[in-house]
Amino acid sequence: MTNILAAGAVERHLRARRDTGRALLMPYVTGGVTPGWTRYLTAFAEAGADAIEVGLPFSDPTLDGVTIQQASEAALARGASTRRILADLAEAGDVGVPLVASTYYNLVLHDGPEAFCAALRRAGVDGLIVPDLPVHEAGELTGVAAAAGVDLALLASPATPRPRLEEISRRSRGFVYAVSLMGTTGERAALAASAAELTTRIRSVTDRPVLLGFGISTPGQAREAGRHADGVVVGAAVMRRVLDGAGPDDLRAFLATLRRALDQE
Amino acid sequence: MRMAPPWREPVPATGTMGEPRPLGRFGEYGGRYAPESLVEACREVDEAFRQARADPGFAAALAELLALHAGRPTPLTPARRLSQELGVQLYLKREDLTHTGSHKINNVLGQALLAARMGRRRLIAETGAGQHGVATATAAALLGLEATVFMGERDMERQALNVFRMRMLGAEVVPVTTGSRTLKDATSEAMRHWVGATGDSHYCVGSVVGPDPYPWMVREFQRVIGDEARGQCAAELRTGVPDHVVACVGGGSNAAGTFAGFADTSARFVGVEAEGGAGAARGRLGVLHGCRSLFLQDDDGQIIEAHSIAAGLDYPGVGPEHAHLRELGRARYVTVTDEEAVGAAVRLARSEGIVPALESAHALAWVIRAAGDGELAAGSTVLMTLSGRGDKDISTLKELL
C-alpha cells in the first residue's frame, strides 16, 4: 500500500482475529511496576490476550483513577522510565501478540514524536495510545507514527459528537478505543449504560475494530461488553491484583476467566 | 477611569496578546490537549465565553460584581519612600485590596457568572495556597452555586486557615493524597473529577493554564488589572506609560492580566518566577494539564515538583502565553530566591506599611535587585502588580523572622 496512513501490524492482527468471530481481549500492565514485570506479558498471552497494552508511567496521569495512579507511582519509584521499559521489552522478545504502548503526550514530546516512535519499534511495540492527545491535536503524531509503522489508536468518548466520531474513526489506526463512561480508569460495579450506545455509534461509522475500555473488571462485564464491542481493554482490575502482590500465574488465571467469558458470547 | 470590562473594545488578533489562534495557539504553545471526554466540555466553555463577551448584559453584570462585591477599581499607589530609596519611580497596582485579598477574585467572578449563564450548578476548582479556592468559594456563595475545591493534603496542612475559610463559605474541600500532594496534583484531580461531572459542573481554572479556552479566557478576565492600571498610569505618570511592567508568575494570571493592558505600548515586561518554580525561565517544552507550554522536567520527561516559599508560585509550569511572550522577546522572565522574597516583603512592610503576599514579594524583590545593579535605570518608572496581601503568609513569616 502506498497510503502512508495505512493500518499496521496491530490492526491487521486484530482484524484477522475478529473476523474469525473471536471477541478480543487486551489486558494492560504498567511497565516497570515490579522486578521481572515482563513475565506478566507471557502470562497474558498464554491466557488468551489478543494484544497487550503496556503503560509507560507518567508523573501526572490525569485520566487515570487511583489504581493506575498507584501503579505508575510504584513503577516510577522503582526507577522506571520510557527508556528502561523499552529496553526490558526488547530483552523479553516476541511474546506472540502485538504490544501497544500507552502514555501521556509529554513523554512522546520529550524526545520528539519521531524518536519516540522509532524507539517503540526497536523495542517491538507496534501500537500506541495517548489519552491526552485528542484527534484535533494529533496531526503532529499521526503521520510520524504511521511512517514508523506504529498504529496510533485514538479514543472516543460518550460525549463525542458524531462528526468528530467520524474523524476519530477515520484517523485512528489499530482500533478505536471506546471509553465506556464519563470518568477515569478504574474498576466499576457495573458496565456503564453509555458503553453500548457509544459502541453502536462508532460501529455505524467504521469497520475498524472497536475495543471498549474503562471500568471493565469482571467476567460478567467482559461478556456484556463483548456483545457490543469487538473486544475489551482491562487495566485497573489487572493492576489492582498486581499491586496486591499477585504474580504472573495469578493473572494468567484471572485473565483466563475473562477469556472464557468472552468466548461464551 | 475605565469601568467597563475591556473586551468591549476588541484587541487586534494580529498583535501579541490578542485572541489565540488557530485552535487556542499562542505561537507554538497552548492548544486543547484534553482527554477526549473533556473536549466537548471545553468547546462548550469556549462557545459560552465567546457569546458572553459579545453580550453587553454580561459585561455589565460582571462590572457590577467587580465594583460592588470585589471593590474594584483598585488604587495605583505610588511607593514614595521605597522609590526614593531605590532611585526609581515605583507604582503598585493594589490587587491586595480586592475582596478575598488577591487578584484571583477577578477571574473567578467572571467564570462563576459564565457558569451560571451555562446553567451549571457547581464550580470545581484546584487550589494551592488556597487563594483561588477561597475566591471560588466566595463567588459560588455569592451566586448561589455549589463549590468543590481540590487541595493537596500537604497544602491543607500548610494553609489550614484557608481550608477553614472555604468550608465556612460553604465549599466542599477535597484532600488530594496522590503524587506530591500539592497544586499540580490538585489540578490533576480536579480534571479527573470534571470528566465525570461535565453535565452540571464548570471547572473554574485558577490561572492562565489548562486546555483552550482557559489560558485566553482567564487572561481576559484578569486584564481588568492591566486596563485599570493603564488608565491610572495615563493620569498619574508624566510619561503616561511606565518604562517597566513587573509581576510575579506562577501559572501567570496576574502577570498576563497586567501585561495585556500594556501590550500595545513600549513598556518592557518582566515576569518574576520563584527560583524553585521557574517554568518560563528553565522549563522545557511539554504538555501538562491540557496545554502545550514550558514545564520543569527531569531527564526522562517526568514533571518535577516545584518548591517555593510562596505556595502560589509552586507550579512546575507556566501559562502558554508566557512561553510565547518569552519566545518573542516581548517579555522576559527572571527568578528570585525565597530569601530575596522574604527580604522584599519586610522592606515593603517597613517602607510603605503594606505586607504583601509572598508571591507578590517576588516581583518586588526583582525590582529591588534591578534598581540596585543598574538594570533599572535611575529615574525610570516601574509599574508592579501587588497581586495579593500577606495575611495568609504571616505564620510562615513568623517562623522565619
Q: Name the grid cell of B2.
A: 475605565
Contact B75, A174 (CB under 8 A): no
Q: Which of residues 208-227 of A touch B (CB under 8 A)?
A: none
DSSP conformation class of B167: H
d(CA B401, CA A183): 47
* pLDDT tens, residue by residue, B177-228: 988 888 999 999 999 999 999 999 999 999 999 999 999 999 999 999 999 9
pLDDT, position B311: 87
pLDDT, position A122: 97
pLDDT, position B182: 87
- B126 as an active site residue: the answer is yes
| Residue B88 reports pLDDT greater than 90 | yes
Please tell me if residue A178 touches chain B, with a CB cutoff of 8 Å. Answer: no
| Residue B14 reports pLDDT greater than 80 | no
Tell me the β-bridge partners of B294: B285
- B184 as an active site residue: the answer is no
Q: Do A62 and B192 count as a contact with CB atoms less than 8 A apart?
A: yes
Report the CATH number at residue B298. 3.40.50.1100
Name residues whose C-beta falls within 8 Å of residue B31's C-beta, 6 or more positions apart in sequence. A137, B23, B24, B25, B211, B212, B291, B292, B320
* pLDDT tens, residue by residue, B223-244: 999 999 999 999 999 999 999 9
Place of cell 506472540: A96
| Residue B149 reports pLDDT greater than 80 | yes
From the CA of A50, how many Å to the nearest CA of chain B?
A: 25
- A151 as an active site residue: the answer is no
| Residue B5 reports pLDDT greater than 60 | no
Question: Which residue among A59, A160, A183 places its CB closest to the CB of B195?
Answer: A183
Q: Do A168 and B295 count as a contact with CB atoms less than 8 A apart?
A: no
From the CA of B362, how many Å to the nearest CA of chain A?
A: 27
Contact B253, B208 (CB under 8 A): yes
pLDDT, position A265: 67
d(CA B257, CA B228): 10
pLDDT band at B7 (very low <50, low <70, confident <90, very high): very low
| Residue B352 reports pLDDT greater than 80 | yes
d(CA A132, CA B256): 26
Q: Which of A76, A105, A110 is the best substitution to test chain B (most B C-beta atoms within 10 A)?
A: A110
Please tell me if residue A159 touches chain B, with a CB cutoff of 8 Å. Answer: yes
Give mean pLDDT in consecutive 10-residue pieces for chain A, a chain of 265 residues: 66 97 98 98 98 98 96 97 98 97 98 97 98 98 97 98 98 98 94 95 97 96 96 98 98 98 89
| Residue B4 reports pLDDT greater than 60 | no
Whether residue B164 is contained in a domain is answered as yes
pLDDT, position B401: 86
Q: How many domains does chain B have?
A: 2
* pLDDT tens, residue by residue, B40-61: 999 999 999 999 999 999 999 9
Please tell me if residue B39 touches chain A, with a CB cutoff of 8 Å. Answer: yes
d(CA A44, CA A255): 7
Question: Which residues of chain B make contact with A63, given a CB cutoff of 8 A?
Answer: 35, 37, 192, 195
Options A53, A187, A224, A230, the catalytic residue: A53
3-state class (DSSP) for residue A203: helix
Q: Name the grid cell of B375.
A: 538594570
* pLDDT tens, residue by residue, B365-396: 999 999 999 999 999 999 999 999 999 999 89
Q: Indicate whether B229 and B312 sit together in one domain.
A: yes
Q: Indicate whether B47 and B147 sit together in one domain.
A: yes
Average pLDDT, chain B: 94
Whether residue B6 is contained in a domain is answered as no
Question: What predicted TM-score, i.e. pTM, was given to this entire model?
Answer: 0.95
- Mark which of B161, B184, B214 sits at the end of a domain: B214
Structural domain spans, chain A: 9-264
Phi, psi of B29 (to 5 degrees): -95, 165
Options A64, A126, A151, A187, the catalytic residue: A64
Tell me the percentage of chain B whose pLDDT exceeds 70. 96
Q: Do A62 and B41 count as a contact with CB atoms less than 8 A apart?
A: no
Q: Indicate whether B155 and B279 sit together in one domain.
A: no
pLDDT, position B129: 83
Tell me the CATH number for domain A9-264: 3.20.20.70
Q: Indicate whether B348 and B246 sit together in one domain.
A: yes
Q: Do A106 and B178 count as a contact with CB atoms less than 8 A apart?
A: no
pLDDT, position B15: 54
